[in-house]
Chains A and B, each alone.
Chain A
Amino acid sequence: MPALTPTRATPEAGARPSEPRRPGRTRARGRRGRPNVLAGLAALVWLVIVAVPLYSMVTSTLRRTEDYLDAGPLDLPTAPTFENYLSVVDKGFVQALINTVLVTVATVALVLVVAVPAGFAVVRSRSRLASTGFRLFLLGLAIPAQATIVPVYLMITRLSLYDSLLAVVLPTAAFALPVAVLILSSAMRDVSEEVYEAMALDGASTTRVLFGLVVPLSRAGITTVGIYTALQAWNGFLFPLVLTQSEDKRVLTLALWEFRSQFGVNVPGLLAAVVLSGLPIFVAYLFARRALVNGLMGVGGK
């Protein structure tokens, strides 16, 4: 089976869960005839466990604090209000959003710029550096970012990068690299030798082979890596927590944590911040469900 090769995050294997209605996928799924009552029941129970908190979160944000405190979290908003969302914007949400976007874009760019040639070298190079490097990346899969936080903090302060967005970008990118190189090299491995030979006939340089052939043919893998890295950067908490300090360097995840004390009993306001922080990913999910799922399956690595 092709999907048994090193990565599950390849589009072929990873796309399945997100593509339930693709024709051909429906083959003989009703194999067991009768509906599976027990599993269906379990699915319903889980639906309640997932949906009730989310419902409570969204409806609460549309209510006034007094109503929330009086009537509890499950009551319907009788007179929907958007004042909670406005109060979130007042408390510096936009700055945090901009910081998070900057960190995410920079991390993704950095990872792609170094991981694409690295993946290419792992697949095509005969040098020992590339094969040793690949083994180091595999080793790196086992290193949890949490365990290295003290030396990373030490290094960032010594480099005078403390309390800057770059301080968050560098280690976040470094820890996304093992999965990135793994996904990219397995995507690039599918490029056949004949195509390389055809390029060589044309007298193409190595750089042209990479950008004219390998990159276009491994677009799916590159997309997966981009989304995986973006999610890591977007959701990152520990690196920003330890490596930044001032309010104008605060990213969204940290801002949420700070909001918790700032909002006090204004729970609807706090939940509005939670909703807003998830909104960009939700929009991405609506438009690029399959790509997002692949990126998430990559997350399995960490």
Chain B
Amino acid sequence: MTTATHRRVDRPGGVWALPALVLFGLFALLPMLLVGYLSLTAWNGLGNPSFIGMANWTRLFTDPAMLDSLRLSVLLTVLSWVIQTPISLLLGVWAAGRQRNRAVLSAIFFLPLLLSSAAIAVLWRALLDPNFGLAATLGPLVGFADGNIAGTPTGALLCVAFVASWQFIPLHTLFYQSGARQIPESLYEAALIDGASRVQQFRHITLPQLRNTIVSSSVLMVVGALTFFDTVLILTNGGPGTATYIVPFRMYTTAFRSYDYGYASAIAFALVLVATAISLLLVRVSGFARMRSTREGM
């Protein structure tokens, strides 16, 4: 190497990151800090917030309505995971293979991803209409003689979980598909020589190899379900009664329908804590962090 190549390369200063940091700090980090502060105040949107200490937090832990929302959120999260994970996993592994027509089918599977949450919720609200929708035709087949699937508390929550799955399974299928494509071919060849059946191959090669994808996809599903909002507002508006008043929806109504911004902030802050704790726990329990970056799938 000549001495010329050792000439110092100009490096950008930290200032280059400043505009992004300012925008991000102002409209994402500062609001997060403000949520913490507002959770210690009483404020109805008029005048200034007044400091009331831990009152909102005490209320949060004793409010029966809040407890009910928490129960519904946990239920929805579990339901979403239980529906989405096996289906996405199967479809993703299948789509990574080389069946005939696979490309065409995968393209159709992909279509729900092109619609916004609002569009999907509006579509399903029409389809679930007990008088004129698909539900009127199909409801009797699944035990709802009057077709009013979304009219019962349990049915409504199931509908929300179903619509969420309809919307997000294609995305998770993509994750599993690209995960499955990275499994070394030699593993299957070796298994074939050993005479392993397809189920054995799936259990002993595919599943363990997809572990990281399963963890990252699960984290996204759990956080997604805990912060699920648009669909509930449009599809059920929390109803019937309060049957689908999941935590983010209660936060929204507390703030923008009851104008209780302080209490809403406490709910929001608790939501962030719970979502972060669950993601960290999932990552820790699975030993995921030790193996590779936790940012996979982002």
Q: Which residues of chain A have a CB within 8 Å of any CB of chain B?
A: 1, 3-9, 13-14, 16-17, 20-21, 26-36, 39-40, 42-43, 46-47, 49-54, 56-57, 68-69, 72-74, 110, 113-115, 117-118, 120-122, 124-130, 133-134, 136-138, 140-144, 146-155, 170-171, 173-175, 177-179, 181-182, 193, 196-197, 199-201, 204-206, 209-210, 234-235, 237-238, 241-242, 252-254, 256-257, 259-260, 265, 267, 270-271, 273-274, 277-278, 281-282, 285, 293, 296-301
Query: In the complex the two chains form, is B117's CB within 8 Å of A32's CB?
Result: no
Of B10, B23, B272, which one neighbours A110 at CB under 8 angstroms?
A: B23
Closest 3 CB pairs of A and B: A129-B14, A127-B14, A29-B98
Query: In the complex the two chains form, is B298's CB within 8 Å of A147's CB?
Result: no
CA gap between A299 and B224 in the complex, in Å = 11
Please name all residues of chain B whose beta carbon is closer than 8 Å to the beta carbon of A74 when the two chains form the complex.
134, 137
Of A36, A209, A298, A301, which one neighbours B99 at CB under 8 angstroms?
A: A36
Please name all residues of chain B whose beta carbon is closer than 8 Å to the beta carbon of A72 when the two chains form the complex.
132, 136-137
Please name all residues of chain A whose beta carbon is closer than 8 Å to the beta carbon of B198 when the two chains form the complex.
32, 34, 36
Query: In the complex the two chains form, is B295's CB within 8 Å of A141's CB?
Result: yes
Query: In the complex the two chains form, is A56's CB within 8 Å of B127's CB?
Result: yes
Of B12, B99, B126, which one neighbours A210 at CB under 8 angstroms?
A: B12
CA gap between A175 and B284 in the complex, in Å = 26
**Binary contact track B219-234/A, C-beta < 8 Å → 1, others 0:** 0100100110110011
CA gap between A27 and B20 in the complex, in Å = 43
Please name all residues of chain A whose beta carbon is closer than 8 Å to the beta carbon of B133 when the two chains form the complex.
73, 267
Query: In the complex the two chains form, is A144's CB within 8 Å of B271's CB?
Result: yes
Query: In the complex the two chains form, is B18's CB within 8 Å of A206's CB?
Result: no
Chain A residue with Cβ nearest B33: A151
In the complex, whether B81 has a CB less than 8 A from a CB of chain A is no
**Given A47-B105, A256-B118: A68 and B132 within 8 A (CB)?**
yes
Chain A residue with Cβ nearest B124: A53
CA gap between A173 and B19 in the complex, in Å = 12
Query: In the complex the two chains form, is A174's CB within 8 Å of B297's CB?
Result: no
In the complex, whether B181 has a CB less than 8 A from a CB of chain A is yes
CA gap between A281 and B201 in the complex, in Å = 38
CB of B21 to closest CB in A, whole Å: 5
Please name all residues of chain A whose beta carbon is closer than 8 Å to the beta carbon of B229 when the two chains form the complex.
146, 237-238
Please name all residues of chain B whose beta carbon is closer than 8 Å to the beta carbon of A259 when the two chains form the complex.
122
**Binary contact track B2-30/A, C-beta < 8 Å → 1, others 0:** 00110111111111111111011111111
**Given A8-B297, A141-B295: A147 and B271 within 8 A (CB)?**
yes
In the complex, whether B67 has a CB less than 8 A from a CB of chain A is no
Looking at B70-78, B88-96, B149-157, the stretch in contact with chain A turns out to be: B88-96
Chain A residue with Cβ nearest B199: A38
Please name all residues of chain B whose beta carbon is closer than 8 Å to the beta carbon of A242 when the two chains form the complex.
256
Chain A residue with Cβ nearest B175: A300
In the complex, whether B282 has a CB less than 8 A from a CB of chain A is no
Query: In the complex the two chains form, is B181's CB within 8 Å of A16's CB?
Result: yes
Residues of B139-154 at the interface with A, using a CB-CB cut-off of 8 Å, are none
**Given A17-B95, A21-B103, A69-B132: A141 and B24 within 8 A (CB)?**
no
CA gap between A49 and B124 in the complex, in Å = 12
CA gap between A42 and B198 in the complex, in Å = 16
CA gap between A231 and B27 in the complex, in Å = 19
Query: In the complex the two chains form, is B117's CB within 8 Å of A133's CB?
Result: no
Please name all residues of chain A whose beta carbon is closer than 8 Å to the beta carbon of B111 when the two chains form the complex.
50, 54
Query: In the complex the two chains form, is B16's CB within 8 Å of A297's CB?
Result: no
In the complex, whether B248 has a CB less than 8 A from a CB of chain A is yes
Query: In the complex the two chains form, is B272's CB within 8 Å of A147's CB?
Result: yes
CA gap between A130 and B295 in the complex, in Å = 19
Query: In the complex the two chains form, is A253's CB within 8 Å of B118's CB?
Result: yes
12 contacts between A and B (CB under 8 A): A29-B96, A47-B105, A50-B109, A73-B133, A121-B13, A140-B29, A146-B248, A146-B271, A178-B24, A197-B5, A201-B4, A252-B116
Query: In the complex the two chains form, is A46's CB within 8 Å of B114's CB?
Result: no
CB of A27 to closest CB in B, whole Å: 7
Please name all residues of chain A whose beta carbon is closer than 8 Å to the beta carbon of B293 when the two chains form the complex.
4-6
Query: In the complex the two chains form, is A174's CB within 8 Å of B234's CB?
Result: no
Query: In the complex the two chains form, is A150's CB within 8 Å of B268's CB?
Result: yes
**Given A8-B296, A117-B20, A140-B29: A28 and B185 within 8 A (CB)?**
yes
Chain A residue with Cβ nearest B170: A50
CA gap between A200 and B295 in the complex, in Å = 33
Please name all residues of chain A whose beta carbon is closer than 8 Å to the beta carbon of B119 when the two chains form the complex.
253, 256, 274, 277-278
CA gap between A173 and B7 in the complex, in Å = 38
Query: In the complex the two chains form, is A35's CB within 8 Å of B99's CB?
Result: yes
In the complex, whether B85 has a CB less than 8 A from a CB of chain A is no
Query: In the complex the two chains form, is B129's CB within 8 Å of A150's CB?
Result: no
Query: In the complex the two chains form, is A147's CB within 8 Å of B35's CB?
Result: yes
Please name all residues of chain B whose beta carbon is closer than 8 Å to the beta carbon of A150 when the two chains form the complex.
34-35, 38, 255, 261, 264-265, 268
Query: In the complex the two chains form, is B87's CB within 8 Å of A42's CB?
Result: yes
Query: In the complex the two chains form, is B298's CB within 8 Å of A278's CB?
Result: no
Please name all residues of chain A whose beta carbon is closer than 8 Å to the beta carbon of B171 when the two chains form the complex.
296-297, 299-300
Chain A residue with Cβ nearest B234: A257
Please name all residues of chain A whose beta carbon is closer than 8 Å to the beta carbon of B251 when the two chains form the complex.
146-147, 149
Q: A50-B170, A282-B114 known; 16 other A-B pairs, CB under 8 Å?
A: A4-B293, A17-B95, A43-B91, A47-B109, A72-B137, A117-B12, A138-B295, A140-B24, A142-B272, A147-B269, A235-B118, A259-B122, A278-B116, A298-B298, A300-B171, A301-B297
